[in-house]
Structure 1
Amino acid sequence: MRVSPLLLAVLTAAALTACAAEPVTTAPPPVVAGKKINLSPEQNRIRTQKVADIAAKVPKEIAADGKLTVGFSASGSPPLVSPATDDTTLIGVETDLAQLVSDVLGLEFTPQSSSWENLFLAAKSGKYEAVFSNVTVTEERKDTYDFATYRIDQLAWQVPDNSPIKAIKGPADIAGLRVSVGSGTNQEKILLDWDRQNRAAGRKPAEILYYEKYGDVLLALKSGRVQAYFGPNPNIAYNIAVSGGSRIAGTFSGAGPDLQGLIAAMTKKGNGLVEPLHEALNTIIRNGTYQQVLERWGLANEAIPESRVNPPGLPRQPAS
């Protein structure tokens, strides 16, 4: 049947009207610690000014291209570092702080992403001039890298809401449990030490399961494959605030029972960059932009009063 131009126009208009009438649903921004979290690629990051005296201290071979190449773990999760809603742009408290430090140093912030393990290899080779990715200062890491601190390091145990586990306060509380932790992390070292203590005391060993992505850990917790997860407190607190379904059963310093752990910018040992990084961090602490970034991501309670270079870190672990 031949349709007249007039009827075709009417049908087309009706179809367009029907399409326009379809409801459009947009997920509201998550709220953490009373703050709405912007997960879009349009971050409108907090910025600051170059400080010429500090910028002049950046080693010439690093400053030559006018960029600060900063490494991040691509498998991270908010509010630390994660892909934005475009699944490409890296966002989070770590990228915001790295941007501010780059501003003070007068360099173009150039983010790069990789696996957690490759962050260390890339920093050691100089491919990444700095790493801002929730890296804890440890005595072992100080053999190879220099550190400029910028946040306290708090770890947490995450369990399902309906878990019979009431609290995890020490090694005896994980004896015989199926637990998960990130490979190559300082929390893994603490967990392995707890497991050694349990074995020495005649308690049941823990079954330790590893997952590359935090999302896989959450699925394992939900299904019961894992009874508890030991990881960074900011990620866990964020997930609980946004999604519910789980709770924190205990928190711990990332440097063990006798020392407050510290998160730091990491760079190749002896390359001359740690001092300008340290001075840049103290600059943003003094001018208030540092506090603005932490508040933006709901992490104001993890602020430090000043940055330090290579402070005491997680003690060396005994050989297995």
Structure 2
Amino acid sequence: MPQAHRRRRITALAALAVLGLFAASACGKDGDSDAPSSNTVNGLSYDLSPAQSGRVHAAKVDALAAQLPAAVRDRGTLVVTGSVGATPPLRFYATDDRTPIGSDADISYLLADLLGLKVETRIGDWAQNFVKVDSGEADVFVSNVTVTEERKEKYDFATYRLDNIALEVPKDATWTYQDRKSLAGKTIGVGTATNQEQLLVKWNEDNIAAGLPKIDLAYYEKTSDYYLALSSGRLDGYLGPNPSAQYHAASAGQTKVVTTLSGAGDALQAEIGVLTKKDNGLAGPLRAAIQYAIDNGLYKQVLDRWGLGGEAVPQSRINPPGLPKKKG
């Protein structure tokens, strides 16, 4: 095994340990991985294997495929980029440490099926994914991307899930969350360049203006690092995507979720969308494919498979109101 792959595999296994996945109910193996092939959380069994035999598929719908730009239809592939973390159930590595799986991966495969395309997967960190779409290397960015007014200037969105975020704290924490003032003087972890960070920055400014202690924003390279910091007491809380927070809190048993709210805060109910380059002709057929999946029950099957039924949208929308622009 090459040294780089060995290091990567060790890192992934360590992340799985942090998540409590080794307490899984089924302990089959995939390839040379020692990680369990499934995990049961809150009564739902999650398939962690690269095979993903339970993935929801669909037949091509000619009327949807006909809406695609000719270049994409003739090429026969949908090139999907996204970030891959160690936090189920959105987009994470299977037990082979190579295959991206999760709800966002399933959405990508379902849309490709309906449009008569094959999926080509790209992987990048958060900022790199936008660059891949900008350059044309990828057609779409599917990785829990929130619709924002700033992003809509360069990109089109076809929405497929509500965007809810959660504040996760150590299980033995005694403080409670009421509003932004509850975070004054606390150290809160948050991902760089996310809508969660934008919210925390705004709350911090409002707290300071009100004469309250500042919120200490903490940044780490990986989500698993946030969870280690939470469990060791170096963080008072972590503000991140609700699906991952709920999964981690239930699976690892070392943390708890004290509040959930819209990814746009009090401004509006934020939505997650498939991101593509503006005016490239893909947003329309993507929205139509998502709506077809909603109307025919396929969409519900995907969300239920990953425990995300509570974040379903009643309809897919192109470029709905998004998280407001940053001031200044």
> Structure 2-normalised TM-score?
0.87
Deviation at 1:28, TM superposition (A): 7.2
Aligned-partner Cα distance in 1 for 2:37–2:113:
31
1:304 paired with 2:313, answer yes
What's the CA shift for 1:249? 1.4
Q: Choose the corresponding residue for 2:220, options 211, 216, 229.
A: 211
In 2, the alpha carbon distance for the partners of 1:62 and 1:172 equals 49
| 8 Å Cα contact 1:81-1:93 kept in structure 2 | yes
Which residue among 120, 140, 143 is the counterpart of 1:110?
120
Cα distance, 1:255–1:67 mapped onto 2, change above 3 Å: same
1:210-239: per-residue Cα shift (whole Å, max 9, x none)? 112111001111111111100000001001
Q: Does the CA-based 8 Å contact 2:148-2:324 persist in structure 1?
A: yes
Does the 8 Å contact 1:159/1:246 carry over to 2? Answer: yes
Letter paired with 1:90: P
Residues 1:86 and 2:96 are matched in the alignment: yes
Per-residue deviation, 1:116: 1.0
C-alpha distance in 1 between matches for 2:186 and 2:125: 27
Match of 1:62 among 51, 72, 88: 72
**Alpha-carbon offset, residue 50 of structure 1:** 0.9
- What do residues 256-285 of structure 1 show as CA deviations (whole Å, max 9, x unaligned)? 203111010000011110000000000111
1:293 aligns with 2:306: no
- Counterpart CA distance in 2 for 1:317 and 1:240 is 31
Contact in 2 for aligned 1:148/1:264 (Cα 8 Å): yes
Shift of 1:54: 1.4
1:248, CA displacement in angstroms? 0.7
How many angstroms does 1:165 deviate by? 1.8
Q: Tell me the CA shift for residue 76 of structure 1.
A: 5.5
Q: What one-letter code is carried by the residue in structure 2 that aligns with 1:41?
A: P
- 2:290 partner SS: helix
- Alignment match, 1:190: 199
Residue 151 of structure 2: which of 124, 132, 141 is its match?
141
Write the distance in 2 (CA, Å) between the matches of 1:181 and 1:91.
Answer: 23
* TM-aligned CA deviation for residue 170 of structure 1: 2.0
Name the counterpart of 1:41: 50
User: Could you tell me how far apart the structure 2 residues matched to 1:59 and 1:81 are?
Assistant: 27
The structure with the largest alpha-carbon Rg is 1
SS in 1 for 2:249: helix
Q: Who is 2:186 aligned against?
A: 177
Contact preservation (8 Å) 1:31, 1:241: no
Task: Give 1:22-37 correspondences, 5 Å limit.
Answer: 27=36, 29-37=38-46
Aligned to 1:98, what secondary structure does the other structure show?
helix
Q: Is the 8 A contact 2:187 2:235 kept in 1?
A: yes
Following superposition, the deviation at residue 125 of structure 1 comes to 1.9
Task: State the alpha-carbon separation in 1 of the partners of residues 181 and 262 from structure 2.
Answer: 18
Partners of 1:313 and 1:39 lie apart in 2 by 33
Q: CA, structure 1 residues 99+114, in 2 after alignment: closer, same or farther (shift >3 Å)? A: same
CA separation of 1:198 and 1:96: change in aligned 2, threshold 3 A = same
CA RMSD of aligned residues (A): 1.4
SS of alignment partner, residue 173 of structure 1: helix
Contact 2:37 2:49 in 1 (8 A): no
Where does residue 262 of structure 1 map in the other structure?
Answer: 271
CA contact (8 A) 2:144 2:272 kept: yes
Q: SS where residue 235 of structure 2 aligns?
A: coil
**C-alpha distance after superposition, 1:145-203 (max 9, x if no partner):** 0000000011000000111222x232211111111100010111001000010111111
Q: Secondary structure at the match of 1:30?
A: strand
**Aligned equivalents of 1:291, 1:205: Cα separation in 2:** 42
- Give the structure 1 partner of residue 83 of structure 2: 73
- How much does 1:299 deviate? 0.7
TM-score, structure 1 normalization: 0.89
User: In the aligned structure 2, how far is the partner of 1:25 from the partner of 1:289?
Assistant: 29
Unaligned runs of 5+ in 1: 1-23
2:27 touches 2:37 (CA, 8 Å); kept in 1? no
CA contact (8 A) 2:87 2:248 kept: no
CA deviations 1:73-104 (Å, max 9, x no partner) are 02362100000000001100000011010011
Aligned sequence identity (%): 44
Cα contact 2:37–2:95 (8 A) shared by 1: no
Distance in 2 (CA, whole Å) between partners of 1:80 and 1:302 is: 12
Deviation at 1:33, TM superposition (A): 4.0
2:38 partner SS: coil
The answer on whether the counterparts of 2:37 and 2:48 sit within 8 Å (CA) in structure 1 is no
Q: Secondary structure at the match of 1:112?
A: strand
The answer to whether the Cα contact below 8 Å between 2:65 and 2:115 also exists between their aligned partners in 1 is yes
